[in-house]
Each structure stands twice: as C-alpha cells, then as structure tokens.
Amino acid sequence: MKSKGLLSLLTFSEKRKDLLLFLLEQPSTLANIRKRFNVSSPEIAPRIREMESASLIYKDPSTKMYTLTATGKIIAKSFKPFVDLVSLIEKNEDFWNDHDLSGIPDHLLDRLIDLKDCVFYVDSLENIYDSHRTFTENIARSSMIKGVSPVFFPSYPDFFLQLAQKNVPTSLILTKNIFDKVINEHDEKMKAYHDAKYTDLYLLDSSKVAFVVTDIFFSMSLFFKSGNYDPRTDLICFDETGIQWGNDLFKYYLSQAKKI
C-alpha cells in the first residue's frame, strides 16, 4: 500500500486506529489484542494484515508479538494528540461550539490537548448551581487558590473571607464591575479579605472566562456567544497537566491586571 493511503487507512477504521494506539503502549500478542478489543481472530485479522501491508506493524518472529515499525511509531506518536483532541471536543461539543472562546489566549488554545483528561459538569435546569457546590467543596480542600471572576455569586464574599481568615493563600482577579459590586454591597468583608495575611487582590477591565486553579484542581466556565454567562457548565480537571494549563491561564490574566 502506498503511503498516500495511510490517512484513510487510519481514519476510516476505528479498529485500525485503536490498534495503532494500543501497540504504541507496548507490543502485544494476538491473544491480548483479541482480549483488549473483545473481538475474534477472523474479525481483527484483516485489520492486522492491512496494517502490516502498510508497514505500520509487524509480527516479531522471536516474541510472536505484533509491534509498531519505526514508521508506525512516528505516525502513532503524532496521531495520538489529534485523537485525544477530537475526543476532548466530542465529550461536550456544545461547550466548545456555543461558547465564546475569545477569553482563552491563542497560545493556550494551541495547547487545548492539555485538557484531554478533564470532565464536564452540566447542571440540570432544576439544579442550576450544583456544579458550584462541587466547586466550593473542592476549593475547601485546597491549600492554595487563584482565580479570575467576571461574575458574582452571593455566597462567594463569605466563602472567600473564611478561606482568608484560615490563612489559605488566595489570589483573586476581579473585573471592575464585580469589584464595584462587592465594594458597594460587601465593603467590610472586602476590607477584611484584603487585610488578611495571605491574600492578593487584582483588578481587570474585563474577562470572557471565569476560572479557579488550586493545588488539586482547575475549573473553568465560559460565556455564551450571545454574551450571557453560562452558570450550568463547568470544565474541571484534577490531573497535573490540566492544572498547569490553568496556572498558565492565570499568569496570562495576572500580566494584564493591576494589584489593589
């Protein structure tokens, strides 16, 4: 098979694609391949022969294991990030298609694959703030908190003041509208938060993304393209790569904010 057919070979067959990525993890016997994909030999054998013909895999005569060729490894290592990115989008296509992504800088959109292990919390209309209950529960377990808030939730002034009084290091970036609202409605709490030992407060003109990143998780919510904030859907990551992406997003906004 000529190399120009490799793209169709991998993209037109779920089994061939999965087999390529499976063998990227480690060589495998036919028995293990059958077990992994829950298929019989007659079902998987044609796919194996097609990939052998394309010089993507071969059967090692000494170990009897199917192994990626050098070309197969090169392709698999480049193909996997694409597959992971598509999987991330497919987890919740509405999240990426219906929301305004302009609040995410280009250099982090280019690294969207870092969020591949994240999950989506989507509240029902009857329980619109359930994801924020999960949010506050995770924050309560954190030992360091950083976040950007272009939206206001009535429970947040008390919640973050309690964290500050417990000496939890907290850095918050508020948009001007939210800062003005908190000052007008919760002036004493804002002063107490600001005067706490391990708190930093910053002011930002505007933001199209709301998020928090801590030592244990990263949570992000977005605005719809209409301009309205979506309080029902949160993307949440607990893995190291996703948390680092969140930290880099905070660094981006911190570079534009002014310390109060």
pLDDT per residue over 185-224, tens digit each?
999 999 999 899 999 999 999 999 999 999 999 999 999 9
Note whether 138 and 197 are same-domain residues: yes
Lowest mean pLDDT among 75-84, 94-103, 122-131, 231-240: 122-131
> Which of 63, 85, 107 delimits the end of a domain?
85
Q: Are 206 and 256 in contact (CB under 8 A)?
A: no
Structure token digits, residue 235: 């993307």
Among 85, 105, 137, residue at a domain's last position: 85
Please answer whether residues 112 and 88 qualify as being in contact, where contact means their C-beta atoms are separated by less than 8 angstroms. yes
Contact 104, 210 (CB under 8 A): no
pLDDT at 10 over 90: no
Residues 97, 188, single domain; the answer is yes
Q: Residue 83: what pLDDT?
A: 87
**Residue 173 pLDDT exceeds 50:** yes
Asked whether residue 69 falls in the same domain as residue 140, the answer is no
Helix (H) or strand (E) holding 212: strand 209-214
Question: Do 118 and 238 belong to one domain?
Answer: yes
Residues 45 and 141 in one domain: no
Q: What's the whole-number average pLDDT of the chain?
A: 90
Angle between helices 41-53 and 30-37 (to 10 degrees): 120
pLDDT at site 14:
82
The reported pLDDT for the residue numbered 17 is 87
Measured between alpha carbons, how far is 25 from 5 in angstroms, rounded to an integer?
A: 24
41 exposure class (CB count in 10 Å sphere: 0-12, 13-18, 19+): exposed
The tens digit of pLDDT for each residue in 46-73 reads: 999 999 999 999 999 999 999 999 999 9
Helix (H, G, I), strand (E, B) or coil at 257: coil
Count of structural domains, the chain: 2
Alpha-carbon distances, residue 77 vs 5, 112, 124, 220, 239 (angstroms): 18, 17, 39, 29, 21
DSSP state of 246: H
pLDDT band of 82, cuts 50, 70, 90: confident
CA distance 169 to 172: 10
First-to-last alpha carbon distance for the chain, in angstroms, is 65
**Burial group, residue 251, by CB count within 10 angstroms (0-12, 13-18, 19+):** exposed
Q: 66 and 104: one domain?
A: no
pTM above 0.75, yes or no: yes
pLDDT band at 124 (very low <50, low <70, confident <90, very high): low
71: domain CATH number is 1.10.10.10
